[in-house]
Amino acid sequence: MPKKNPIDEFVEELKGQNTSTPKLELKPPRPPKEKRRSTANLGFEAKLWEAANALRGSMDAAEYKHVVLGLIFLKYISDAFEEHRKRLEQEPYADPEDPDEYRAANVFWVPSPARWERLKQNARRPEIGQIVDEAMEVLERENPSLKGVLPKDYARPALDKQRLGQLIDLITNIRLEGEEARSKDVLGRVYEYFLGQFASAEGRKGGEFYTPASVVKLLVEMLEPFEGRVYDPCCGSGGMFVQSVRFVEAHATGNGNGGRARARISIYGQELNYTTWRLCKMNLAIRGIEGKIEQGDTFLNDRFPDLKADYILANPPFNMKNWGAEQLRHDKRWKYGLPPARNANFAWLQHMIHHLSPVGYAGVVLANGSLSSNQSNEGEIRKNIVEADLVDCIVALPDKLFYTTQIPACLWFLARDKSGRPPAGQKKRLRDRRGEVLFIDARRMGRMVDRVHRELTDEEIQEIAQTYHAWRGEEGAGEYKDVPGFCKNVSLEEIRKHDYVLTPGRYVGISQQEEDDEPFEEKLKRLVAELETQFAESTKLEEAIKRNLRELGFYGN
């Protein structure tokens, strides 16, 4: 009996897998220390990635990404359609072949040429590429919201059709039986995991469309976007939106309002890169998330000029050089100073401040240089933003978190109103924080998940977020206390004395050395052992010197 190849073996395993694994959602309670979780530990997704990646061959990861993610999206669309179709078949007066029956239920209409069953039946045929392209074209034609979104180049000669057929088999055998929510969760998890894996495989270029999951979770957990308008002006593949919806659902479920959770936030996003914009549209659709996602240059063609957002979450390109400064010298967004022509960091910050509602909050990932640079008017802009009392919190992050760079970055948290008015979706007033800024130094946090990438654990995310919530005076968050080496509440007067440099390490001080917590007897034994080693090395060095002097006739006989 011939031995099965690894791909076929995994397909067989998938046929019998149990998809009742818990959903990947960040829950409010802080996890116990002994159960620190890594976002890399996701169950069967890793094995599915390994099998799918084995089919890549010599194809570049950036190109293969669209092949795989397009098929996963098509599978999701088809599964949701078939599930709704079964329900319609049970209703007396419903017509399962009427597209309006599906659109009314917010389900994409899938004509017969685009249904997954057809792809499954033809997976081993040499013309499978044309069949997939036809499916994508028909889907776009019948669903205007997908126009220009789906990949349609599966028939190209460079794509190995045998491997394409194997990939279809692999995705076919992800079991998605049961409730619609479960199938969305499984395929959504796969899509999200694959986005991260492709970003890692592409390295620096991958960071253009993907913000690491632990950083997104930290932003969302700190800002708590319960309801209102959520905006990302450089939205990449939409990770900020997915995590925001997940946060709202996790908190609403506990109150018995899970079904209405998604209606509580409105999503607005813009992405310059057309290919990445397509990824974002698919990512949101596979999660059943509605949003206004526009494609274009945020600086030169702001598609939401009148938007005032309650929450802004963004990871703009670090130190972006060519951003259109010359055309925008007199733009109304530069209220706090003209941004440098060769660095867009403070252009991004001021764009977001411009779009904040009267009770709005923003969480922005920026390069560390934004905290201290005085070049090309940056220091003056930072001073003006601080003096306007817009800076709520600064978090220094560890290095190696991002795919674009291994240097450390930071998080800026901005608040339009620090007087204590509750943010959108919250009823309880916060503490009056006017004239104060919280600094958090998280540079020593995180753990390595491979040789070059680090991530924050769920426990660390909760520790940072809870510190911020306690400092803001949130109900149930506990009492805030400065912790040397980790966090400190700082007055604007003290920031002025430091020339408006916002590097957390300058304010939080030095933590007590870990060795101070070492039991005295163990510490003494360790120091004695080190001393004995040094004595031995000293004796060897002394004998070597004497030997050399003897050979030269200057020592002994």
Instruction: Give the Cβ contact number of residue 250 at 10 Å.
Output: 16
Low-confidence winner among 16-20, 97-101, 440-444, 526-530 (lowest mean pLDDT): 16-20
Q: Enter the tokens of residue 274.
A: 């057309």
Tell whether pTM > 0.85. no
Highest mean pLDDT among 55-69, 268-282, 395-409: 268-282
CA dist., res. 199 & res. 219, Å (int): 20
Average pLDDT over residues 324-349: 95
Mean pLDDT, the chain, whole residue set: 84
Tell me the torsion sign for CA atoms 156, 59, 403, 71. positive
CA dist., res. 154 & res. 69, Å (int): 12
Instruction: Give the pairing type, strands 447-448 and 454-455.
Output: antiparallel
CA dist., res. 256 & res. 340, Å (int): 49
CA dist., res. 89 & res. 476, Å (int): 49
The pLDDT, as a whole number, for residue 451 is: 78
More confident residue, 454 or 357: 357
Largest CA-CA distance found in the chain, in angstroms, rounded: 115
Highest mean pLDDT among 45-54, 89-98, 245-254: 89-98
Average pLDDT over residues 224-242: 92
- Looking at residue 397, the DSSP 8-state letter turns out to be P
pLDDT band at 498 (very low <50, low <70, confident <90, very high): very high
Query: Rounded to the nearest 5°, which phi and psi values hold at 448?
Result: -75, 130
pLDDT in tens, 4-18: 554 555 445 544 444
**Closest among 405, 416, 414, 315 to 357, alpha carbons compared:** 416
